Amino acid sequence: MIQSLKLAHQPQEPVSAPSTARSMGPVPEQVEPTIDLEDVPVEEIQIDPLSRIVFHTDPRGLAADRFRFLRMRIRERSNAGKLQTILITSAQPQDGKSTVSLNLATALAERGQNPVLLLEGDLYHPTLAERLGVKDGPGLADCLASGVQPFSAIRRLAPLEWYLLPAGSKMPNPSELLHSDRLAQIMRALTPHFKWIVIDSPPVAPIADALALARYADASFLVVRAGVTPGHAVEAAVESLGPKHVMGVILNGVEGLRRLYSKYNKYYVPGATDKQRNKAEQ
């Protein structure tokens, strides 16, 4: 479980997406139907602690507080310029980028006050639908490969109160799909309907899918695991994305802070006994 998040790098230059991409050739422009988000079907899900959506399951914990801080910084950047679509990626697998994506979407949605879409862009190793326990159905891969309309694949999740476009069906050529022009059409159709779009991207290495998705993001966050992710991998990932595009580095898995924070909470809980306070100060 995430114990700490740290915004470790925050350049002030305007973000600009990387230009590296391949194309599968021209795709006829498709006209998306007019959509009202109120018409998107609601799917009730059970939030298990194993889902690690700490912003929902442990809203008073340190990790939830770090996501509030991250939300605040995103708002500040948004007020200073265009920031609507955010890419969450990592330098390597197992650094926790999907956990960050789930919690950031929950934080930005603010219990349904803001329309937020979480787009599952990791078509090789999707995990969000399984972690959330959502029903099987079409998703991003089907929209890219078969022309499925994206809004027919989106579902609104309760009680999280944000929208999910899952990865969908397993395809033999996910990288080709993400490098196709159809992805641009889908993003153009989605963008006007949401205040925030969070893209759960594959890791930057070893494949280039994250760079294909980064073309459609206003900024990216790089998730690294404390004591695990090599420094050279972080540097290579920032260089691949472009330093101006990387809004911050999120440090995941910092040990030793949970105990300190629980002591802080115990000490400041109204009505705490002297014994509790003395124990907290030890």
pLDDT at 21: 39
Q: Which two tokens stand for residue 279?
A: 């124990």
Helices (H), the chain: 54-57, 62-80, 97-109, 128-132, 140-146, 150-153, 174-178, 182-190, 209-214, 231-241, 257-268, 274-281
Our count of domains for the chain comes to 1
Q: Report the C-alpha gap between 160 and 5 in whole angstroms.
A: 21
CATH number at residue 127: 3.40.50.300
pLDDT at 206: 86
| 170 belongs to a structural domain | yes
pLDDT at 136: 92
| 269 belongs to a structural domain | no
Q: Which amino acid is it at 245?
A: H
Q: Per residue of the chain (282 residues), what is the pLDDT tens digit?
A: 454 555 544 444 434 444 433 334 444 455 455 678 988 999 999 998 778 899 999 988 888 999 999 999 999 988 887 899 999 999 999 999 999 999 999 999 999 999 999 999 999 999 999 999 999 999 999 999 999 999 999 999 999 999 999 999 999 999 999 999 999 999 999 999 999 999 999 999 888 999 999 999 999 999 999 889 999 999 999 999 999 999 999 988 876 544 544 444 443 333 334 444 344 334
- 3-class DSSP state for residue 75? helix
| 7 belongs to a structural domain | no
| 100 belongs to a structural domain | yes
- CA end-to-end span of the chain, whole Å? 25
Q: Report the C-alpha gap between 54 and 88 in whole angstroms.
A: 17
Q: Report the C-alpha gap between 131 and 127 in whole angstroms.
A: 6
- The C-alpha angle with vertex 242 and arms to 241 and 244, in degrees rounded to 5, equals 125
pLDDT at 91: 94
Q: Which amino acid is it at 277?
A: R
| 282 belongs to a structural domain | no
| 270 belongs to a structural domain | no
136: Cα within 13 Å, side-chain hemisphere: 2
Containing domain of residue 56, as a range? 37-256
| 71 belongs to a structural domain | yes
Q: Return contacts of 22-27, CB within 8 angstroms, 24+ apart.
A: 22/179, 22/212, 23/179, 23/180, 23/181, 24/176, 24/179, 24/180, 24/181, 25/181, 26/181, 27/180, 27/181, 27/182, 27/185
Q: What is the pTM of this model?
A: 0.81
Indicate the DSSP class of residue 267. H
What are the φ and ψ backbone dihedral angles of 18, each rounded to 5 degrees? -60, 150
Q: Report the C-alpha gap between 63 and 55 in whole angstroms.
A: 7
